[in-house]
Structure 1
Amino acid sequence: MSSRWLKPYLPRSLYARAALILVLPVIVVLLVVSVAFVREHLEDVTGQMTRAASREVRLVLEDIQGAETQQQALAAVRPDLRLLDMQARFLGSNETPTIEPRRWYDFIAPQIDADLQELLPNLVAVSLPDSQVATLFLNTHLGVLELGFDRRRLSTVAPHQLIVTMLFFAVIMTSISFLYMRNQLRPITRLADAAQAFGRGRVVPFTPGGAVEVRAAGSAFLDMRARIERQIEQRTLMLSGVSHDLRTPLTRLKLGLSMLPEDDAKPLLQDVNEMQSLLDAFLDFSRGASEGEQVEIRPDELLRSIVDDAQRAGQSVELLPPEGQGAVMLRPTAIRRAVENLIGNAVRYGSHAMVSMTLTDKSLRIRVEDDGPGIPPEQRTEAVKPFSRLDPSRNQNQGSGVGLGLAIVADIARVHGGVLRLGQSERLGGLCADIIIGR
């Protein structure tokens, strides 16, 4: 419960989460070590060196106090400057201290400045432009004294060197870990791609690899895919065989009934035609979405062809302008059958059908609406089940069926990795059927 607020900010992919697990501890360790190094080591060492340098500066200032001119002062401190390896001069009356900018990564300079200001009351300014030179500007009774000496007497040489070294090796080790992690996660990614492709009706080559557990999962996926393919093939062969074997006796019955008087043969012939329509529906259901391979097509052109065929057949169908254009991987024959089934239901239970399409970067939506009685919300789940007939809500006098139309559409959408959603049409007031397929 307490970690729910964190979930929206976490990455979704396995690779990104593994990278976060790998990088986050490294960053934390670097920060902790850097802070501890700066506070516990650099600050103490810098403080000691700054105090030693300030004593030398005070020694120079004490020798200047007895001088009456700037030349006498420089002559008096010349032995000290030689021993302390310093350079000194007085600024002119119109000259101001020159403070050169510091380097952006010189994080120890502010501490040096603060320590010198505390230890040297006469200090005017400090110039620390680099790691080689330090220049102090001090007030004296003879004017502003510019005192220069080696920066290394105030702080350690390149105090950022340890941090830079840690960062360098951290980047190298993290890069090596990333390469190793990518090789370990690649079999999982390939397994996920193969499973996603199979869920959308495509079979892509896949060979198990990686760690033992990943190989076991890959082998289990291949076994499951093979079983599902066998079951689909067996179902198709069984229903196709039954439908094919029953066509012959039905044809003989039709021939026999054609020889009887019309009044006696009419009701029997109607029963035979109904059996024929049942067989055709079973055969369509057995084919499902297994007919044809997925190819890249433009769904707007496919819908235009379907609507044109329906209009030539005398059906009242309207195609709205498509929203979005592009190509999508689909089974054209299966999608055509699904849309034709929806249009057939729409004009059977209503008087007018409206077809529209919305294509985005993430999904394809094909919508068929009608002005019929629609389907109540509590019966929509039952409506997509095979052999389900909702006679009270759908006017059966307008036509008959075996309850496989929506089941076929749902099966086709499912094989494409999508879903069939039923609702109420806002435009026409009847049923609204959406085929939504992810890209």
Structure 2
Amino acid sequence: MFFQWLKRYMPRGLYGRAALILVLPVVTLQLVISVVFIQRHFEDVSQQMSREVAREVTLAVRDPSIAVPLGFSLRRVGEAELPERDARRWYDFSGLVVMATLTRNIAGLERILLPDDSHVVLYVRGEDALAEVAFSRRRVSASNPHQLLVNMVFFGALMTLISFLYLRNQLRPITRLAAAAEAFGRGRHEAYSPSGAIEVRAAGHAFLDMRNRIERQIEQRTMMLSGVSHDLRTPLTRLRLGLSMLEDEDRLPLERDVEDMQRLIDAFLDFARGNSQDGQAEPTDPVALVEAVVADAQRGGKPVTVAELDGEGAVTLRPRALRRALENLVGNAVRYGTRCEVSVALTERSLRIRVEDDGPGIPPDRREEAMRPFVRLDPARNQDRGSGVGLGLAIAADIARAHGGVLRLGESARLGGLRADIVIAR
């Protein structure tokens, strides 16, 4: 329980945690040394010096003639000059040791005054009168007590600065590796060369191997499906040419089958291409992009409207890829429902584009399955009303992941159908 509570207050970044690991032992060591040194320097030394002065004060009160040779200023005072109480500054902690030691070792001591760092004034009652004894504070306390604190602060700050510079150089390769990995996760290829400690270099080389392997697999998948799709177009063209010579009652059903095959091939090719032909990421106004997609859908006669546009600014996106994802979501919404609403919420930390419809929706236990390629949920989305091949949501989810985001499916509170959210971190 304690560690769970403490974890909430710990730094979340690697730099903060590493700095804490370096600074905390230094501060702890300085505190321990300070306590030990102060106890020895301010307590034991002050006690010893105060005992010596106490014996000398006792002799001077008994024989005032030796007060000056002993370094004391001694004079007789009346009862009216006796202060009401002892006095010292509240932060004068060594004065506590001095006052306690003098009280124990001087007989007849009435009052002790420690007005500053330079003087000590005692009021001692002798055999026949009350005497005021003044002497230098240096005789009962160690001189220059602030030097310890000055040295601690100076060398502590110096070592912290050196640790900061060293730590920054050590963490810079890790930061570069994290930036390259994050860029690759968002579909961008940034130049990266491993550097730093041996372990960081090993992680960097492993990342480069992984990135190259993934890029090769994507390229091979695209080339394979592109080749298959290209090879299938030729027999489809011959089939379409042969069908044109048949009678209408025999030709029309077969032509519909050929069109369905052509649509399947185009969908496979579109999925295989992924983001390879969508260009580089660039600053994009998501509000303008959504308005353009909605306007194109409305010109096509689709019942699509803009529900809410919250926020303004530019986000680094691949506009062509994101546009295709939105078109897929809007197409699914109008295929399975009678209304579609699109909204945008742009904050300092994230971008959320929401597409809602009034269709039958998708059961919660099948939403994850619905985003897989080539999956069609007949009971949930009424496939009789469309001719999809199960790639619309998969392409949208793939594009969201390529932007470092996620596609989330839920139930629309506004329309009652499916709610699809593309959430991208800024």
TM-score (norm 1): 0.88
Kept after mapping to 1: 8 A contact 2:88/2:95: no
1:243 to 190, 206, 229: 229
Aligned equivalents of 1:109 and 1:299: distance in 2? 70
Residues 86 and 111, structure 2, Cα contact 8 Å, conserved in 1: no
Q: Which amino acid aligns with 1:159?
A: P
Q: 3-state SS of the aligned residue for 2:142?
A: coil
Where do residues 122-161 of structure 1 align in structure 2 (5 Å cutoff)? 122-130=109-117, 133-138=118-123, 147-161=133-147
RMSD: 2.6
Give the match for residue 198 of structure 2.
212
Alignment-derived partner of residue 25 in structure 2:
25
Q: Deviations over 1:3-26 (max 9, x none)?
A: 434322222211211111111111
Unaligned runs of 5+ in 1: 64-76
**1:253 to 1:144, Cα distance in 2 relative to 1, 3 A:** farther
The residue that corresponds to 1:165 in the other structure is 151
Written as runs of structure 1 = structure 2, the 5 A alignment for 1:11-410 is: 11-63=11-63, 77=64, 79-88=65-74, 102=89, 106-120=92-106, 121-130=108-117, 133-138=118-123, 147-290=133-276, 291-410=278-397
In the alignment, the residues of structure 1 paired with residue 72 and residue 222 of structure 2 have an alpha-carbon distance, to the nearest angstrom, of: 97
Equivalent pair of 1:300/1:322 in contact (CA under 8 Å): yes
SS in structure 2 opposite 1:176? helix
- Distance, in Å, in 2 between the alignment partners of 1:164 and 1:258 is 98
For 1:413-432, list aligned pairs within 5 A.
Answer: 413-432=400-419
| Partner secondary structure for residue 11 of structure 2 | coil
Partners of 1:321 and 1:289 in 2: how far apart? Answer: 28
For 1:318, the aligned partner's letter is T
Deviations 1:370-421 (A, max 9, x none): 1000001111111111100101111122111110001001100111111111
Per-residue CA deviation, residues 154-197 of structure 1 (Å, 9 max, x unaligned), is 11112343353244323323322232222122111111111111
Contact 1:388–1:402 (8 Å) recurs in 2: yes
SS at match of 1:373: coil
* Distance (Å, rounded) in 2 between the aligned partners of 1:101 and 1:244: 97
Find the residue that maps to 1:366 and give its secondary structure.
strand
Query: Aligned-pair distance for 1:242?
Result: 2.5
Displacement after TM superposition at 1:254 (Å) = 2.6
Deviation at 1:198, TM superposition (A): 0.9
Counterpart CA distance in 1 for 2:305 and 2:77 is 92
Give how far 1:47 is off: 0.6
Is the CA contact (8 Å cut-off) linking 1:298 and 1:327 kept in structure 2? Answer: yes
Partner SS, residue 82 of structure 1: coil
Q: Tell me the CA shift for residue 427 of structure 1.
A: 0.8
Q: What is the distance in 1 between the residues matched to 2:168 and 2:371?
A: 43
> What SS does structure 1 have at the residue aligned with 2:144?
coil
CA distance in 2 between counterparts of 1:398 and 1:139 reads 109
CA distance in 2, matches of 1:321, 1:212: 51
| CA distance in structure 1 between the aligned counterparts of 2:84 and 2:70, rounded to whole angstroms | 22
In the other structure, the counterpart of 1:73 is none
Question: Do the aligned residues in 1 keep the contact of 2:119 with 2:137 (CA within 8 Å)?
Answer: yes
Q: Distance in 2 between matches of 1:87 and 1:302?
A: 91
Q: Which residue number in structure 2 is paired with residue 71 of structure 1?
A: none
Q: Cα offset for 1:103?
A: 9.1
Distance 1:402 1:218 in 2: 40
Q: For residue 146 of structure 1, report the CA deviation from its aligned partner.
A: 5.0
The aligned amino acid for 2:350 is S
Contact 2:351/2:425, CA 8 A, preserved across alignment: yes
Q: Which amino acid aligns with 1:42?
A: F
Which sits farther off after the overlay, 272-281 or 161-170? Answer: 161-170
Q: Does the residue aligned with 1:369 lie in a helix, a strand or coil?
A: strand
Letter in 2 for 1:26: V
Gaps of 5+ in 2: none
Q: Which amino acid aligns with 1:306?
A: V
Shift of residue 125, structure 1, vs aligned partner: 3.9
Partner AA of 1:134 in structure 2:
H
Q: TM-score of the superposition, structure 2-length normalised? A: 0.91
Sort the Cα spacing of 1:321 and 1:145 in 2 relative to 1 into closer, same or farther, 3 A: farther
Evaluate the alpha carbon distance shift between residue 59 and residue 97 of structure 1 in structure 2; reply closer, same or farther with a 3 A threshold: farther
Give the match's secondary structure for 1:84: coil
